[in-house]
């Protein structure tokens, strides 16, 4: 597969966008953020897309933008937190160079505040009950797809990017994981 050299996965607030940007700079590769690609393709914000098309509409658009990005991008691709919940997207991502950014709930709470601009967090006073629910539901899917996992809750985004390049080593330049079955 041509396609991204690294794909970042993880819950809201894990730092996929921030770490992805640092990682791309470190590797001298282009950076793409799936949420930004969706906003660019639709010409509307993510809260607006959720408000008018609902989560299902958003996921369908996200899946189609991801399909294109997996062909077009050859750099670092940061996913949205829920992108893997669409079965077509999961299928297309399987076997890719996927790194899971892991954080715990206190770190997420500190980073997300009231969850402004993240419709899946509900828009209420405290986004953390919903974050916890989503983390529990999505965690197994993330761990199943990820080839590497990194602690993204400590250190700067640049330090997390460095940990990723250390961990991936030679695999940064090799292709997809061979199918074994």
Q: Does 93 bind ligand SKM (CB under 6 A)?
A: no
- Choose between 107 and 176: whose C-beta lies nearer to ligand ATP: 107
Residue with tokens 């899917």: 141
Q: Which two tokens stand for residue 14?
A: 């894990």
Dist. CA 174–CA 177, nearest whole Å: 9
Could you say which DSSP state residue 180 is in?
Answer: -
- Choose between 82 and 96: whose C-beta lies nearer to ligand SKM: 82
Within a 13 Å sphere around the CA of 28, how many CA atoms are in the beta-carbon half? 1
Does 171 count as an annotated binding residue?
Answer: no
Q: 70-89 mask for ligand SKM (x: CB under 6 A)? A: ----------xxx-------
CB of 153 to Mg ion, least distance (A): 16
- Choose between 12 and 103: whose C-beta lies nearer to ligand SKM: 12
Q: Does 119 bind ligand SKM (CB under 6 A)?
A: yes
Dist. CA 164–CA 100, nearest whole Å: 10
Per the CB < 8 A criterion, the answer to whether 24 and 30 are in contact is: yes
- Choose between 5 and 121: whose C-beta lies nearer to ligand SKM: 121
Q: What is the three-class DSSP state of 28?
A: coil
49-67 exposure pattern, b = at least 16 Cβ within 10 A, e = fewer = bbeeeeeeebbebbbebbe
Residues that bind Mg ion (CB under 5 A): 16-17
* Contact residue for ligand SKM among 6, 7, 9, 12 (CB under 6 A): 12
The site for ligand SKM (CB under 6 A) is made up of 12, 35, 46, 80-82, 118-120
Annotation: binding site for substrate: 35, 59, 81, 138
Annotation: binding site for Mg(2+): 17
């Amino acid at each position: 597969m041509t396609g991204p050299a690294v794909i970042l996965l993880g819950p809201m607030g894990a730092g996929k966008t921030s770490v992805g940007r640092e990682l791309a700079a470190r590797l001298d590769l282009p950076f793409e953020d799936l949420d930004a690609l969706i906003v660019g393709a639709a010409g509307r914000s993510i809260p607006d897309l959720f408000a008018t098309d609902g989560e299902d509409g958003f996921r369908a658009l996200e899946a189609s933008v991801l399909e294109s990005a997996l062909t077009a991008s050859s750099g670092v691709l940061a996913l949205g937190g829920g992108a893997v919940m669409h079965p077509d997207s999961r299928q297309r991502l399987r076997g890719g160079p996927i790194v899971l950014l892991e954080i715990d709930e206190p770190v997420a709470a500190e980073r997300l505040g009231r969850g402004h601009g993240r419709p899946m967090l509900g828009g209420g006073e405290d986004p953390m009950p919903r974050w916890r629910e989503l983390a529990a539901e999505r965690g197994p899917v993330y761990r199943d797809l990820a080839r590497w996992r990194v602690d993204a809750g400590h250190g700067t985004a640049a330090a997390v990017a460095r940990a990723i390049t250390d961990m991936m080593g030679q695999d940064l330049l090799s292709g997809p994981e061979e199918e074994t079955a």
